[in-house]
Structure 1
Amino acid sequence: MTADEPRLKALGEFIKSCRARLTPDRVGLPFGHTRRRLSGLRRDEVAELAGVSTTWYTWLEQGRDIQVSRHILDCIGRALRLNADEYMHLMKLAQFPIDTPADTGSLVITPGLRKIIDGIVYPSMVVNDRADVLAWNAASGSYFVDFSAVPNHERNMIWQWFTNVSLQARIANWEERSPYAVALFRGICDKYAGDHEITHLVEKLKQTSQYFAEQWARREVRQKSGGFLEFLFSYGEKQSFEVTSFLNINSRDDVHCYVFTPCE
């Protein structure tokens, strides 16, 4: 297996899932195209819409190592009616190199960075692409999880989000934000297709959280877009936080700093 095979397979599976959800009438195909046994478009129909051969498009879905240009990907993206997040995901899978997400042990959290995190009065944390929490402040422990009290392998936000019942109960808009969390993580996992640690984490999540497994099967992808979290206190009051992320921490584009600022 070559290094590119997992990425190419992820690319093929992604466009296949996008094809399966489309209908002929949605893309303007004539009435005769609607007579079929299975839902979704056929490969030859997508190829026709994109202006490529059916054989070439079939190879792309099969994850073969073929020549792909940005122009052709644009045509396929339009044919599949991709939204902005899905289009960016398609381009990343086809054009961007695969890196390794920063491990807790390999990333040096400098004293200066730790001082910054500790000095922020609002919940703040440093997280890598795999959602491992590498540094956090006291406020994060109050609102989310006391990461110092959990084993290293559970210091992961996606794991806590879908397995920590206590955390779920504190977040009033948990159900509203959860599809976004899975779709964002799906995009990251496809970027690191073949990474053993991420594959293992996904399998554990699917086994532990039925909700995660159901959302994961939808194969939706999103790009990072901030948003709001609403915490519910035991006495009934709610506190909303705006989520702000800072990228490229200490020259690592796979490490992010999150700050949760109270809404006025």
Structure 2
Amino acid sequence: MVSSTPATSRDFGEFLRSRRAALGPERAGLPGAGRRRRVPGLRREEVAQLAGVSVAYYTRLEQGQARNASTEVLLALARALQLTATETEHLLDLARPAVLRPAPSTRPERPHPRALGMLEAIADQPAVLLGRRNDVLAWTRTGHALLAPHVPFASAEDPATRPSLPRALFLDAPMRALYADWEHEARANVSYLRLVSGKHPDDAGLAALIGELCMKDREFAAMWATGRVSECTGGTKRFHHPQVGDLMAEFQIWLQADSPDHRLEVYTPVDDQSADALTLLGAVAHDRALGRAATGPTSS
């Protein structure tokens, strides 16, 4: 039997349940926290008490009936469940009425000319421009050589062949092998996709991607089921690169004012060995590009 509850309402209830299950009574400061409990996390009545609402009302919220929930109630729930700022943002997104959501677009994402100009300005660095679903919209040659040398560089130019980093991370063996801490990278991608899904619940492409990965990869399905939400703005990644060996790079995310859903990810080496490896990758990528140009078709 198909549920008549809208997907965003179901997501709202599921998110509340996942965060309630993740918060133990010890962290919540409840009395009798050391007693054995039949279910993980807090009980519904405990969350209701901490948030200052009735148990019946909180139960309806977990059932997805959040259309009339005020901002004050939602923020009280966020405090009771000890949500992070990103998790609170996601909760508010899920409760947002449909009339306030951005209209879904069926047009392929296009990189803004200013973002492409920035990529050109840092052409010697590993960098990639990511779309809403973490599709590659554009990259520098060193960025391509670092992240996906086994796919054509020009694949990012065509929406039909554009690489999906989440899909490759779970379904593409070379990409899985690239990350020394694959599980951490995978969880970060899943948590980010869940954040985006709350902002764009009507994005058919995003829903299709999540559905495909849930069906094809058990690890993705298990990570998605945790309900974790996070935003990633920077950090360090360790690579087992097939061409230059082990290296470490810090990455920084730069948001694009002209295209708020797009993010520019720029990598810098953390040590001399990694710097040498990235320099070598850049030289190889540059030579490969020149070789293709030299052997390409000529006009008569």
TM-score after normalising by structure 1: 0.83
Q: What is aligned with 1:148?
A: 154
- Please list, as runs of the form range in 1=range in 2, the aligned pairs for 1:122-141 lying within 5 A after superposition: 122-141=125-144
Question: How far apart are 1:208 and its partner, in Å?
Answer: 2.6
Q: What is aligned with 2:78?
A: 77
- CA deviation vs aligned residue, 1:39-76 (integer Å, no higher than 9, x gap): 33332221111111122212222222443333322221
Question: How far apart are 1:153 and its partner, in Å?
Answer: 5.1
Q: Give unpaired runs (5+ residues) of structure 2.
A: 272-300
- CA deviation vs aligned residue, 1:68-96 (integer Å, no higher than 9, x gap): 33332222112112234322322333359
Q: What is aligned with 1:219?
A: 227
- Residue type matched to 2:13 in 1? G
Indicate conservation of the 8 Å contact 1:126/1:256, yes or no: yes
User: In the aligned structure 1, how far is the partner of 2:33 from the partner of 2:242?
Assistant: 59
Change (3 A) 1:167 1:52: same
Indicate conservation of the 8 Å contact 1:118/1:136, yes or no: no
User: In the aligned structure 1, how far is the partner of 2:208 from the partner of 2:31?
Assistant: 45
Q: What is aligned with 2:52?
A: 51
Q: What is aligned with 1:259?
A: 266
- CA deviation vs aligned residue, 1:70-125 (integer Å, no higher than 9, x gap): 33222211211223432232233335943367777353543x54343234211222
- Please list, as runs of the form range in 1=range in 2, the aligned pairs for 1:146-185 lying within 5 A after superposition: 146=151, 147-149=153-155, 152=160, 155-185=163-193
Q: Give unpaired runs (5+ residues) of structure 1.
A: none
Aligned-pair identity (%): 31
User: In the aligned structure 2, how far is the partner of 1:33 from the partner of 1:55?
Assistant: 26
Change (3 A) 1:214 1:108: closer
How many residues are aligned here? 259
Question: How far apart are 1:237 and its partner, in Å?
Answer: 4.2
Q: Does 1:242 align with 2:250?
A: yes
Indicate conservation of the 8 Å contact 1:231/1:239, yes or no: yes
- Residue type matched to 1:123 in 2? P
TM-score after normalising by structure 2: 0.74
Which of 189, 197, 203 is the matching residue for 2:205? Answer: 197
